[in-house]
Chain A
Amino acid sequence: MNLELRDVGVELAGRDVVRGVTCSLSSGGWLGVLGPNGAGKSTLLRAIVGLIPHRGQVLMDGRDALGVRRRDLARHVAMVVQKPTVAEGTTVLEYVGLGRTPHIPYFGSMGRRDREVVAEVLESLDLTNIVARPMHTLSGGEVQRVFVARALAQEPSMLLLDEPTTSLDVGRQQDVLELIEALRRDRGVTVVSALHDLSLAGQFADRLLLLHEGNQVAEGIPDEVLTERVVHEFFGASVRLVHVDGSGHVVVPVRRYIPVGQSERS
């Protein structure tokens, strides 16, 4: 599913939270949405999936998302919010099964095909051996995989992820992003994710969109968006960009000034 945003804006409580976002993403692409805290990343994702009203146009395969019933949209577009709520005692199997909701009639229950899809997702995400565990007994990396599994159970052609790597250690962050990369490759899922780690964003996403105070300030391939000047201007950080062959851009923070005498140690 390709995605096109045309001059998308969001107003919350009378205030413009997101303004003038325009970009396009081809089917199977990965758009990384960057920006400092409060830049409007989550708001943009929520608008794309139709949870809050927006101005402008969100086109999915050329169709305006506004004209699509929410239930139909949910069969094609799945979202993992930043901090999903999990009812105490919910098991992995129950949680992933909830992803079938848009495919089941309101008063209906899971059918054979629903169970097959859930089983396939659990298998492909290597969760089969923990299906009976309650969610609160899992590690951070496992929980994140279960969240993704819940979204995949919707059988989406587009997946929106709000900061999927927050609160994970660096190894688990890589695990999650590699998993998403594999889904993109194997299933052709289009991915839009808010990311706060610039290095990881530069290495995994194939397009980046930078928001600053709700405005789109840069958009394009990582080489165009991630520059030392941009990072300094919008994140207030002093960085060096290192290009690692085959991996992409790595953003390395460097000290803004070296205290007197410090250099002698090295």
Chain B
Amino acid sequence: MTRVVPGSSRRRRVTVIVAAVGIVTLASLAGLLVGPVSLDASGVMHELFGWLPLVSGDGLDDRQATILWQLRAPRVALACVVGACLAVSGAAYQGAFRNPLADPYLLGAAAGAGLGATIALVAGTGGSLIAGTPLLPIASFVGALVGVGIAYAVGGAMGGRSTTTGLVLAGVAVASFLTAVQTFVQQQNSETLREVYTWILGRLATAGWGDVVLILPYAVLSVVVLLLHGRVLDAMGLGDDEAGSLGLRPSRVRLAVIVAASLATAAAVAVAGLIGFVGIVVPHAVRLVVGASNRWIVPLSALCGAAFLVLADLAARTVVAPGELPIGVVTATIGAPFFALLLRRAGRIT
């Protein structure tokens, strides 16, 4: 009798996708309902779905509606987009580099964004701009892309062609260098230390619709491109030689994935700072459920990444209410033990 492993059947995978959509929806509803001001659940439902026939009841008053639409909804939306971007980029990097430890920050995106943000904050407090906005998202976006660009150029020069090892090593070197520069800039302007530190730990707190609108084009474009790469990433998993003998050009595929994933990552860090762990823990958790095919891992990572970050943000603003935890701290404290548990469970099965 053939032993059918979990995740091998198509039907099961479709079920998992449907379940993931359900989880994102529930997480988002929780994100809308929970907060310092309690909103009546039926009121929120009416506010959200009042346009549908057969939905009746009282809506929210103006103040509550403002809290819902101007404070909570953009924050939930931003968490969804950022979480999806980071998780999909992580999954794509792991596929393209055939390295389970690859994450969206592998090629210096975080360090570049950190330097960009620090420069923006320093310039912002020195000049007439208020606390770095709106310079901050643009500077960190550009910083992330510059970091990856340098790493790619250096890695390509090292290996002749862009081999994975060359790129990863170049990423390490570039990240260290940019972090050193960032530390130097920060030392010279210690009055911005607190702001820089806050940014590095990630923030969704000041999210408004502006942030969502700002990153949505990049996020949608990149995520769609990476979703379309699922099957190609599976072929890349065979190694560069076999992928080449199947008619692909591995270094070109890798470049396409790096460009798309870096755009998504840069967009995410631009509005939310450095949120660690999502890009590693989410794709790995997904892989344990649906198996090795990137055709399923990539879309599921998008959904689960979104749900994970919405829930992490919910924890960030409720655990020490009325204060807030930095979201990067939450993703790591929830993510790490959860990850260890998943791996332990997977170890028992196989």
Q: Which residues of A contact B (CB under 8 A)?
A: 46, 49-51, 70-75, 77-79, 81, 84-91, 94, 98-99, 101-102, 104, 106-110, 129-130, 132-134, 137, 154
- Contact count band on B: 20 to 34
List, in ascending order, chain A residues with CB within 8 A of B326's CB: none
Assembly CA distance A181 to B326 (angstroms): 64
Would B247 and A70 count as touching, CB distance under 8 A? Answer: yes
Would B8 and A87 count as touching, CB distance under 8 A? Answer: no
Q: Shortest distance in angstroms between A94's beta carbon and chain B's nearest beta carbon?
A: 6
Assembly CA distance A94 to B5 (angstroms): 13
Assembly CA distance A85 to B250 (angstroms): 14
- 4 closest Cβ pairs, A-B complex: A74-B247, A71-B247, A89-B292, A102-B247
Would B242 and A81 count as touching, CB distance under 8 A? Answer: yes
Judge if B134 is at the interface, Cβ distance under 8 Å: no
Would A75 and B228 count as touching, CB distance under 8 A? Answer: no
Judge if B2 is at the interface, Cβ distance under 8 Å: yes
Closest to A128 in B: B2
Would A130 and B2 count as touching, CB distance under 8 A? Answer: yes
Q: Shortest distance in angstroms between A113's beta carbon and chain B's nearest beta carbon?
A: 16
Residue from B2, B234, B246 within 8 A of A132 (CB atoms): B2
Given the known inter-chain contacts A46-B241, A51-B241, A85-B98, please indicate yes or no for A98 contacting B292, CB distance below 8 A.
no
Q: Which of B221-278 contact A (CB under 8 A)?
A: 228-229, 231-232, 234-235, 237-239, 241-242, 244-249
Given the known inter-chain contacts A81-B242, A84-B242, A133-B2, please indicate yes or no for A89 contacting B287, CB distance below 8 A.
yes
- A-B Cβ contacts below 8 A, count: 99
Judge if B124 is at the interface, Cβ distance under 8 Å: no
Given the known inter-chain contacts A81-B239, A85-B98, A109-B231, please indicate yes or no for A102 contacting B246, CB distance below 8 A.
yes
Judge if B52 is at the interface, Cβ distance under 8 Å: no
Residue from A101, A110, A129 within 8 A of B246 (CB atoms): A101
Would A94 and B292 count as touching, CB distance under 8 A? Answer: yes
Closest to A131 in B: B2
Assembly CA distance A74 to B247 (angstroms): 5
Would A101 and B247 count as touching, CB distance under 8 A? Answer: yes
Query: Taking each of A87, A94, A110, A154, which has the highest tally of chain B beta carbons within 10 Å of its own beta carbon?
Result: A87
Residue from A49, A70, A94, A99 within 8 A of B249 (CB atoms): A70
Given the known inter-chain contacts A79-B242, A94-B234, A134-B5, please indicate yes or no for A101 contacting B248, CB distance below 8 A.
yes
List, in ascending order, chain B residues with CB within 8 A of A90's CB: 234, 237, 291-293
24 A-B residue pairs with CB within 8 Å: A49-B245, A50-B244, A51-B244, A70-B244, A70-B247, A73-B247, A79-B241, A79-B245, A81-B242, A85-B98, A85-B237, A85-B242, A91-B291, A94-B234, A94-B293, A98-B234, A101-B235, A101-B247, A102-B246, A106-B232, A108-B231, A132-B3, A133-B5, A137-B3
Q: Shortest distance in angstroms between A104's beta carbon and chain B's nearest beta carbon?
A: 7
Would A98 and B246 count as touching, CB distance under 8 A? Answer: yes
Q: Shortest distance in angstroms between B240's beta carbon and chain A's nearest beta carbon?
A: 8
Q: Shortest distance in angstroms between A198's beta carbon and chain B's nearest beta carbon?
A: 26
Residue from A51, A89, A129 within 8 A of B245 (CB atoms): A51
Assembly CA distance A233 to B5 (angstroms): 52
List, in ascending order, chain B residues with CB within 8 A of A81's CB: 239, 241-242, 245
List, in ascending order, chain B residues with CB within 8 A of A74's CB: 245-247
Closest to B241 in A: A81
List, in ascending order, chain A residues with CB within 8 A of B295's CB: 109
Q: Shortest distance in angstroms between B292's beta carbon and chain A's nearest beta carbon?
A: 4
Judge if B54 is at the interface, Cβ distance under 8 Å: no
Given the known inter-chain contacts A132-B2, A133-B2, A134-B5, please indicate yes or no for A85 contacting B238, CB distance below 8 A.
yes
List, in ascending order, chain A residues with CB within 8 A of B246's CB: 74, 98-99, 101-102, 154
Judge if B4 is at the interface, Cβ distance under 8 Å: yes
Taking A51-B245, A74-B245 as known contacts, 13 extra A-B pairs with beta carbons closer than 8 A to each other, sorted by chain A number, are A70-B244, A70-B247, A79-B242, A81-B239, A85-B239, A86-B238, A89-B7, A89-B287, A99-B246, A129-B2, A130-B2, A132-B4, A134-B291
Closest to A110 in B: B231
Closest to B238 in A: A85
Q: Shortest distance in angstroms between B223's beta carbon and chain A's nearest beta carbon?
A: 14
List, in ascending order, chain A residues with CB within 8 A of B249's CB: 70
List, in ascending order, chain B residues with CB within 8 A of A50's CB: 244
List, in ascending order, chain A residues with CB within 8 A of B248's CB: 70-71, 101
Q: Shortest distance in angstroms between A22's beta carbon and chain B's nearest beta carbon?
A: 23
Assembly CA distance A87 to B5 (angstroms): 15
Assembly CA distance A104 to B242 (angstroms): 16
Assembly CA distance A78 to B3 (angstroms): 30
Q: Shortest distance in angstroms between A83's beta carbon and chain B's nearest beta carbon?
A: 9
List, in ascending order, chain B residues with CB within 8 A of A98's CB: 234-235, 238, 246
Would B292 and A78 count as touching, CB distance under 8 A? Answer: no
Assembly CA distance A147 to B4 (angstroms): 20
Residue from A71, A72, A91 within 8 A of B5 (CB atoms): A91
List, in ascending order, chain A residues with CB within 8 A of B292's CB: 87-91, 94, 134
Q: Shortest distance in angstroms between B280's beta carbon and chain A's nearest beta carbon?
A: 16
List, in ascending order, chain B residues with CB within 8 A of A51's CB: 241, 244-245
List, in ascending order, chain B residues with CB within 8 A of A99's CB: 246
Assembly CA distance A132 to B13 (angstroms): 14
List, in ascending order, chain A residues with CB within 8 A of B291's CB: 89-91, 94, 134
List, in ascending order, chain A residues with CB within 8 A of B235's CB: 98, 101
Q: Shortest distance in angstroms between B218's beta carbon and chain A's nearest beta carbon?
A: 19
Given the known inter-chain contacts A87-B234, A94-B293, A106-B232, please indicate yes or no for A133 contacting B3, CB distance below 8 A.
yes
